[in-house]
Amino acid sequence: MRDQDVRFLKSVFAEYYSKYSEAVYVPPPVNSREVGFVVWPERAMVRHMSFPSLTDIRRRIMEDTPADAYHSCAVYEFPEKPMGYKNELWVDLAFDVDAKDVRPDCLNDATYSVCRKCGHHRKGVRKTCPDCSQQYQVVEFISLECIKSTGEQAKKLHAALVEEIGVDSKEISVYFSGHMGFHVYVTSKAIGELGADARREIASYLALEGVTGGHATSKGDLGGIGAKRMNKRLLNEVLDLVSNPADHKDILGSSGVGLVEQNAPRLLPSLKKGEIHGLVNLLGIAKTKKVLKRALQRATVIVDPSVTMDVHRIFRMPGTLNSKSGLPKQLVTLEEIDKGVLYSLPEYGRGNVQLSVVFAPEIEIGHESVGPFSNEVVTVPRYIGAYFILKGVASVG
The residue type found at 224 is: G
- What's the closest the beta carbon of residue 238 comes to other proteins, in angstroms? 15
- What's the closest the beta carbon of residue 293 comes to other proteins, in angstroms? 15
Nearer to other proteins, 117 or 312 (CB): 312
- What's the closest the beta carbon of residue 47 comes to other proteins, in angstroms? 17
Q: What CA–CA distance (Å, rounded) separates 362 from 269?
A: 50
Nearer to other proteins, 24 or 208 (CB): 208
- What's the closest the beta carbon of residue 277 comes to other proteins, in angstroms? 18
Nearer to other proteins, 198 or 377 (CB): 198
How many angstroms separate the Cα of 30 from the Cα of each of 204, 225, 316? Answer: 30, 44, 14
- What's the closest the beta carbon of residue 209 comes to other proteins, in angstroms? 5
Nearer to other proteins, 214 or 245 (CB): 214
- What's the closest the beta carbon of residue 198 comes to other proteins, in angstroms? 4
Q: Which residues bind other proteins (CB under 8 A)?
A: 163-167, 190-191, 193-198, 200-202, 204-205, 208-213, 224-225, 228-232, 305-306, 309
Nearer to other proteins, 9 or 160 (CB): 160
Nearer to other proteins, 45 or 246 (CB): 45
Pairing mode of beta strands 314-316, 68-72: antiparallel
